[in-house]
Amino acid sequence: MSNSKNHSLATLLYVKKHRIKNGEVPVYLRISTGNSKVENSLSRKVEFEKWNSKKQRVSGSTAEVKKFNRFLDQLINKAFKIFEELILKDEMISAEIIRNRLFNLEEEQQITLLSASKYHYDQNINNFSTGTLKHYKVTERYFERFLRAKKKLSDISLEKIDYKFLLDFEAFLRAWKPTDHHKPIGHNGIMKHMCRFRKILNYAYKMDWISDSPFKKYKISYNKSNRTYLNKEELFKLETKEFDIERLDQIRDLFIFSCYTGLSYIDLYNLSEQDITVGMDGEKWIHFKRQKTATPFSVPLLPKAIELIEKYQNHPRVKENQLLPVISNQKTNAYLKEIATICKIKKTLTFHIARHTFATTVTLTNGVPIETVSKMLGHTKLATTQIYAKVVENKIGEDMAALKQKLSASQQLRKAD
């Protein structure tokens, strides 16, 4: 299917010789426009010897022949009239639509952006994580807002989505001003919405709902951002701080546990006692599967993590099938900002910073090979982990500066000798 831009219509009347019976053959009409093509039987038969394939008509001058040829003329004229009406009304054009209107067939329901988005969501309920599904719903809400505000529509046919539509949607996201407490969408956030949009259209292409995807012309690009993490001093400050308020003490402990295990919030939320096993080395390990990617990973428990597990063993706030007393992500992050203020940590503290801290301060800067860190984080690509390696370049620079001073001091001593 396609919109009305740069379209032409071609028709072909022909007979199927292999279906000859008693010297007669059935007549068919083929309709072609854009990338779509259909054929339909006219439910009429003619004498094979009288069919002129070049003129696409029956040869002869009898009244019956003239009547049949007039019927064919009217049919073709009607097909072109339908085609012209679709162009004038800027409606979706396909060979199927013209065929259906020509023969008064029931038209297939047009696939729209929102119906495709909902179908894609429903088909992936068991494939995507809860967080990913939530993100797709957010993108879908932006589709609805964009269509209402900029197109004055409640929905739109997939075939009317072109490259300009993508640019207009991106511009809408950049200009969007939230009415609640949320911040405007940043560049990378916009690109994530566009990425989900692309996946929906690619899915529609595979389902043969569209003949091509406008995303072939659109480039998704992310701005490189530095991963925030706690350095050694900040981590020590957080670990040793004594809190009089129980909820802050509890959230701090959850954050520290993630700093020493690398678990994301959702994986910590799902972690249970059954996921702690004894490894081949006789030590305790976490053997788990990331909810985000379903990738299995294993992490040996460091002493601090074991200490926190023991602290919350049989704790009244630990829910059934949970290892630690994890509360909602929203409340957790709100309390972490409070904790950062008390500890005089100037960074905007969120729970995911704990995972970054594990990758940098706890492992990479202490000489753990990047391949090992990648496996413990449950990354599917080493390139993802290499982002953290870049983060610790400053630490390497400091170490090398210290080494230079030592070498310089050593050389001076030799000269003095």
> Is the Cα dihedral 143, 145, 151, 152 positive or negative?
positive
Find the mean pLDDT for residues 16-22.
87
- Report the C-alpha gap between 251 and 234 in whole angstroms: 16
Find the mean pLDDT for residues 250-277.
95
Nearest to 212 by CA among 151, 165, 155, 158: 158
Give the pLDDT of residue 314: 87
**Does pLDDT of 372 surpass 80?**
yes
Q: What is the DSSP letter of 417?
A: -
Q: Which residues touch 33 (CB under 8 Å, ≥6 apart)?
A: 2, 7, 8, 9, 10, 83, 93, 94, 95, 98
- Judged on CB neighbours under 10 Å (0-12, 13-18, 19+), 27 is buried
Give the pLDDT of residue 396: 67
Give the pLDDT of residue 410: 75
Structure tokens that stand for 195 in this block: 């990425």
**Between 93 and 345, the higher pLDDT residue:** 345
Give the pLDDT of residue 114: 93
| Helix boundaries (H) for 241-292 | 246-259, 265-270
Q: 254, 336 in Cβ contact below 8 A?
A: no
CA torsion, points 317, 320, 324, 330, in degrees to nearest 10?
-70
**Residue-range domains of the chain with CATH:** 9-102 (no CATH), 113-216 (1.10.150), 232-398 (1.10.443.10)
**Does pLDDT of 269 surpass 90?**
yes
**Quick one: how far is CA 32 from the chain centroid?**
35
Q: Supply angle C-alpha 158, 115, 87, rounded to 5.
A: 30
Q: 209, 116 in Cβ contact below 8 A?
A: yes
Say what percent of the chain tops pLDDT 70.
Answer: 93
**Between 128 and 352, the higher pLDDT residue:** 352
CA max distance for the chain: 125
Find the mean pLDDT for residues 196-221.
91
Give the pLDDT of residue 1: 47
Give the pLDDT of residue 2: 47
296 by DSSP, 3-state: which? strand
**Quick one: how far is CA 290 from the chain centroid?**
17
Find the mean pLDDT for residues 223-230.
82
Q: 85, 78 in Cβ contact below 8 A?
A: no
Give the pLDDT of residue 230: 95
**pLDDT tens, residue by residue, 311-367:** 999 899 898 889 999 999 889 999 999 999 999 999 999 999 999 999 999 999 898
**pLDDT tens, residue by residue, 41-85:** 898 999 999 999 999 999 999 999 999 999 999 999 999 999 999
Find the mean pLDDT for residues 24-37.
87
Find the mean pLDDT for residues 120-144.
91
